[in-house]
Structures are given as structure tokens and as C-alpha cells.
Amino acid sequence: MAEKDYYSILGVSKSASAEELKSAYKKMAKKWHPDINKAPEATEKFKEVNEAYSVLSDANKRAQYDQFGSESFKSGMGGAGGGFPGGMGGFDFSDMFNGGGMNGFPGMEDLLREAFGAQFGGGTRTRRGQQPQHLRYDVELSFEEAAFGTTKTISIPHLRACEHCDGSGAEKGSKKEKCPTCKGRGMETRTQRTPFGLFQTTATCSKCGGEGEIIKEPCKVCRGKGVQSKTSSIEIKIPAGIDTGNHLRVPHQGNYTPGGGPQGDLYVVIHVEPHELFKRDGADVYVEQGISFPLAAMGGEVDVPVLGGTVTMTIPAGTQNGKVFRLREKGIKRLNGDEFGDEFVRVRVDVPTHLSARQKELLEELQTEMDGKETHSEGKKPKKGKKGIFGF
């Protein structure tokens, strides 16, 4: 399922106020309503508009969308990696249109009436379950832990079903009763007399808060809330190749949702600490290796650090400062794969800053030799005071 941009669907900015969202929704709903717009795509567009507003008009859902995206409202998906690949679960926007109504979205039908007039709708609503309450936990990993994988044990405070009442909120031996106000529907229907006749609106039941049931005798432990705070120790397996910004989903370790809603999930957000030697780009690793001038000039071998040890790398004669060498499959294991990235070694030719008398003598001999060859090749005598490659 492709990620949806709810703000673009409504034509508003991410900082849009509630009033701006409301105004944009009425405008777009009127534009794409199938009874008015006969274009083939009108029905689907109308669904998207309602889907977008149903999320952005709810502060909690909007915060969830801003953090996790539209895929967070789809159930039955899971995994680890960049973003949140599903699992926010329990909500299917297609249910919104079952029977052709706005079931489950209090207030939306009223907005459509404002856009189209009192002739819109008039049907009844049904009560929906609550959305799962997810938790977020941030974990810091060393560079090596992220590269090779590890296991972390974390302590999470979260809400669990009250053990005394099994999450019902009602004292043992007592039961919830059907709400006398809404007759178990969770919604109230109010009739108003207007110049155009009788007009019906529906809203969340003021007696039961939309539950359809009321508690006569609240649980003495949780005081009718149905939940208790509990700290759990959870072992998290970190896969090799994970990187900053990746997320791990741990099913059913979020908060318990009172009223029969689905158990929330735990989302572990990864942060990888920088390394003193290595830099990372995806599965590839970058490192700088210093070599001496003689080694750069004559060639040879040098031990280069790699993850988990060192390897011997050949330096060709005449290697210049800044030359980059590639060590294949010496990088990081690709997340959820079997392949490894590469290591790129940038050579830094180190020029000595302090020379002994003997070293200086040898370099002067080299300079004379090189100047002589240059003069011979050009057919000219060296100019007095001319300096060589090291400025001597």
C-alpha cells in the first residue's frame, strides 16, 4: 500500500489549523462527491478526502500520522527497517463506506451537511473500537553493534489490563450494563426543528462516551479504568546492518486499550553512535589511511583497519595523495540481506615535519638526482637556487 499524503489530499499545509482543515474538507468533499461529480475517479477521490480528514481532524491520529505515516493505520503488516512498515494496526478506512455512510466518524456527517445542505445523510452511526495505543522507545547503539547485530534488554513502563477485573473496569461479580441513553449504540440522535423541517444529528453518547455500556460498580483496584501501570523487561534482537532512523516493531508490547481495543505495539527507534575511524553510507564504510612518502613512491603493503580486524592492502608505486582504494565486501552486512557493502580507503601521504641530518642528506641526494634527470631531459642546466620537490 502506497504512502498517502493526507495534507496534499486536502490541499493544506502541515501546520494547518483545525478550522483550515474543516474548511478544506468541506470544499474537497463537495468537489468529489459522487452524487455531484460523475468522473470515474470521483468515488475513490471522495474516499481519500474522508480518510484524510478523519485522521487529521483527530489530534491523536494526526500525531500518529505525522510520526509514522498513513501506513500506521493498516493492520497485519510488520518487519524492521526504514520507516514503520505497517503494524500500527486495527483501522481500515474501507469500512468507512460500508453501507454508503460515514460510520465511525462523529462530526463528519455534520460537516457534509454544511457543505451540501440538510438533504445529505440522515442515517445512523455504529460505534467503532478504539485505536491501539503504541509506544516508542529510543535505543543508542555503538557502530559495531549496528554493523554486527546485538541483543538489548530494555525496561518499558506501559499499561496492562487490570489483573483484578481482567480489563473490564467492573468489580468482580458485577457486569457492565447496556447504556440506557443510547441503547448500546454508542451514539445519540438529536432532532432539531429548523425552517426547513426536522433535522437529525448524531454524536457520541454523553452518558457512556461511545462505549455503549456503563459500569455500575467500578473495579476497586483500577477505579473503573480497566488498566494498570506495569514495567516489563523486554529483550530486543537488533539485526546486523541496522542504521540510524530504522525502526523495530515489537508486537503487543504497547499499551492495553480499554474497551476491547487491540493491544498496542512497541516501536524501537535506532540511533547509531559515530565511530572514531569509520564513516558509513548505507552498507559501505569509509576510512582514511596514512602512508609514508617512500611507500607511496615505491609501492608496498600496508595494514588497513576493517570492521572486526585488519587486512593487508597493496599500494602501487607512484600512489598519489587522496587516491581511493576499494576493498570489496569489507563493509557492513545489508539489512535483511546476505550481501555486504564495500570499504573505501582514502590514502593520505604523510610528509615528515622533522628530519634528521641523515634523512635530510638522503632527500637532498634524491632531489639532486631528480633535478639532474629533469635537466637532462630538457637539455638545460639547473638554475641557481632552484628548489626541489620538498623546497630544500
What are the C-alpha distances in Å from 210 to residues 127, 177, 205, 206, 221?
7, 13, 5, 8, 23
Task: Pick the closest to residue 216 from 252, 168, 182, 262 (CA basis).
Answer: 168
Query: pLDDT tens, 103-132?
Result: 334 455 555 555 544 334 443 333 445 678
Give residue 336's pLDDT: 86
Res 119: pLDDT: 39
In whole angstroms, give the CA distance from residue 313 to residue 205. Answer: 74
Q: Say what the pLDDT of residue 273 is.
A: 96
Q: What is the mean pLDDT of residues 186-203?
A: 75
The model carries a pTM of 0.56
Q: Which domains does the chain have, with CATH numbers?
A: 279-350 (2.60.260.20)
Predicted confidence at residue 35, as pLDDT, reads: 72
Are 136 and 248 in contact by the 8 Å Cβ rule? The answer is no
Q: What pLDDT does residue 83 have?
A: 39
Q: Is the pLDDT of residue 335 over 80?
A: yes
Does the pLDDT value for residue 78 go beyond 80? no
Tens digits of per-residue pLDDT, 209-258? 788 888 889 999 998 888 999 999 999 999 999 999 999 999 999 998 87
Q: Give the model's pLDDT for residue 374.
A: 53
What's the distance, CA 385 to chain centroid? 65
Measured distance CA(288)–CA(274) in Å, rounded: 15
102/286 Cα distance (integer angstroms): 55
Which pLDDT score is estimated for 43?
85
Task: Tell me the pLDDT of the chain averaged across its residues.
Answer: 80
In this prediction, residues 155-175 reach a mean pLDDT of 88
pLDDT at 4: 85
Q: Which residue has the higher pLDDT, 199 or 293?
A: 293
